[in-house]
Chains A and B, each alone.
Chain A
Amino acid sequence: MGKFKIAFYWCASCGGCEEAVVDLAEDILKVFDIADIVFWPVAMDFKKEDVENLPDKSIDVAFINGAIRLSEHEEMVKLLRSKSKLVVAFGSCAHLGGIPGLGNLWNKKFIFKRVYNEVPTVYNPEGTTPESKIKVKEGELELPEFWNTVRALDQVIEVDYYIPGCAPPPDVVKKAFETIFSGKLPPKGSVLGAENKALCDECPLNDTKPEKISLKDFKRIHQVKLDPEKCLLTQGVLCLGPVTRGGCGALCIKCGMPCTGCFGPLDKVRDFGARAMSFLASIFEYENEDDIKRVFEKIVDPVGWFYRYSLPKSLLERRNMKNIREEGER
């Protein structure tokens, strides 16, 4: 058998996932031994035509990171889908919508208003915003359309596998690559490189977690001096380990930061944030309405806590803008 043909592409992403590929360090040479890269805009000089000129299904695996925010993203991933045998959603944004997915709390109108007019560092007296088409002397220029709603990759095209993480740690990428190139493929839709067990299972602090956690109050990370040897939840810091897929090796926790859930939900869980809320509600001991209100009042941004990486793939997908639009408030 000849070499694999692989492609990498990025959509609405920060570039961290591209970095994650390079983070394989010397192992990336092994990838090049068995695979040829036919498209990787961030690292090599390829144009869209190069992909268009390939025969259908001639790319073995396309790794796509980033959420779908612009019409350009949609066009490119549809093109890659038609040219590829396998499509792998690489990283949290392609898998669940990721950080750009938090844009689903607003729509195009609000985002443009904020970014191009209201931000203190912006000077834009004419109120210019990007247009998808504009006529200039030399002819008509086009820019991609900005959608109201950010979508995860599998909400736009068919996705075969997922690699989780923001960004996927090198071990996870390596394991996922090994699985794909070994030819022993798991069932379609599997999450590669990580197990179907919660993060607590592999967390080094798991032994210090009591049978039942009972909290009176919770604290944000800057309000408490953390004991690095003790389960963060028992110290009152919200760690999403119990509802998050493991496989990262508890990297954040080893650095004294709570899990924020970038690996997403376990198999069969349809809404990550709903599970997280359910779990958080269960570890408080209050039975009195006033106490409950007082404690949960401290969560000023529930979407940011529970849906940091997964708003587009949650059940509701986006905020209901109906009333907000009329009031015109931010």
Chain B
Amino acid sequence: MNGEEFEPRIIVFACNWCSYAGIDLAGTSRIRYPHNIRVVKTMCSSRVTPEMVLDALKNGADGVLITGCHPGDCHYISGNYLTLRRYYLLKKFLKQMGLEDRVALVWISASEGEKWAKVAKEFTEHIRKLGPLEIKEV
């Protein structure tokens, strides 16, 4: 980092119907959120498999944030419940791997631009404190 402050790379998976719209709302409302965020749009939060999260961590992400519709609001009726179950299982696994703090799940609705900006700031600061992710040990 050459003495500069560490800038984390954060991948955000956002569902098409709620969270992406919420993030978009933050943009159109000109609410600032950290530039560390890279948003990947998926049709539903349940499209985000554990494999995708691990892949992001392996390939340089310092943190991964999964976002989806609030429980009961899923466009596909039950997609976000599947996400929830997967998330808890993945979290248990990540805890054993010493990476529990690097992945989070939040519900962002299409009207929650403010909430999104707050979540993005908090998560970025949280990852910044944890420092860069380096798993390799020869």
> Real complex partners, A and B?
yes
Band of interface residues on A: 35 or more
CB contact under 8 A between A147 and B138, given known A278-B50, A324-B98:
yes
**A318: interface (CB < 8 Å):** yes
Interface membership of chain B positions 87-98, coded 1 if the CB is closer than 8 angstroms to chain A and 0 otherwise: 011101100111
Which residues from B are CB-within-8-Å of A287? 71, 78, 81, 84
Question: Which of A125-133, A160-168, A268-276 contacts its partner?
Answer: A268-276
User: CB of B82 within 8 A of chain A?
Assistant: yes
With most chain B CB atoms within 10 A of its CB, the pick from A105, A273, A302, A317 is A302
Other-chain residue from A148, A315, A323 in contact with B98 (beta carbon distance below 8 A) = A323
Shortest Cβ gap from B126 to chain A (Å): 14
Q: Is the CB of B96 within 8 A of A303?
A: yes
In the complex the two chains form, is A321's CB within 8 Å of B51's CB? no
Structural contact, A315 and B58, CB atoms closer than 8 A = yes
A107-B137, A306-B93, A319-B98 known; A281-B86 Cβ under 8 A: yes
Known contacts A270-B55, A271-B51, A315-B54; is A277 also within 8 Å of B90 by CB? Answer: yes
Would you list which residues of chain B between 54 and 98 have a CB under 8 Å from chain A? 54-55, 57-58, 71, 78, 81-82, 84-86, 88-90, 92-93, 96-98
Bound-state Cα–Cα, A289 to B81, Å: 9
Q: Interface SS of chain B: helix, strand, loop or mixed? A: helix
A222 CB-CB contact with B under 8 Å: no
Instruction: Please give, as numbers and ranges, the residues of chain A lying within 8 Å of B99 by CB-CB distance.
Output: 316, 320
Residue-by-residue, is A278-303 near B (CB-CB < 8 Å gives 1, otherwise 0)? 10111010110100110010010111
Report the Cα distance A204→B57, complex, angstroms.
39
Q: Is the C-beta of A322 less than 8 angstroms from some C-beta in chain B?
A: yes
Contact A281 B82 (CB under 8 A): yes
Cross-chain contact of A316 among B49, B78, B89, B135 (Cβ < 8 A): B135
Asked whether A314 is an interface residue with its Cβ less than 8 Å from the other chain, the reply is yes
The answer to whether the Cβ of B134 comes within 8 Å of any Cβ in the partner chain is yes
Residues B89 and A281 in contact, CB atoms below 8 Å apart? yes
A300, closest chain B residue (CB): B92
B88 and A293 contacting across the interface, CB-CB below 8 Å? yes
| B97–A316 touching, CB < 8 Å | yes
Is A278 within 8 A of B86, CB to CB? yes
7 closest A-B pairs by CB: A320-B98, A281-B85, A274-B50, A274-B51, A315-B54, A281-B86, A302-B93
Question: B residues bordering A, Cβ < 8 Å?
Answer: 49-51, 54-55, 57-58, 71, 78, 81-82, 84-86, 88-90, 92-93, 96-99, 133-138
Query: With A274-B90, A287-B84 given, can you name 20 additional A-B contacts, CB distance below 8 Å?
Result: A105-B96, A105-B97, A149-B137, A271-B55, A273-B93, A274-B50, A275-B51, A277-B86, A277-B89, A282-B85, A286-B81, A296-B92, A299-B89, A301-B96, A314-B54, A315-B54, A317-B136, A320-B133, A323-B98, A324-B98
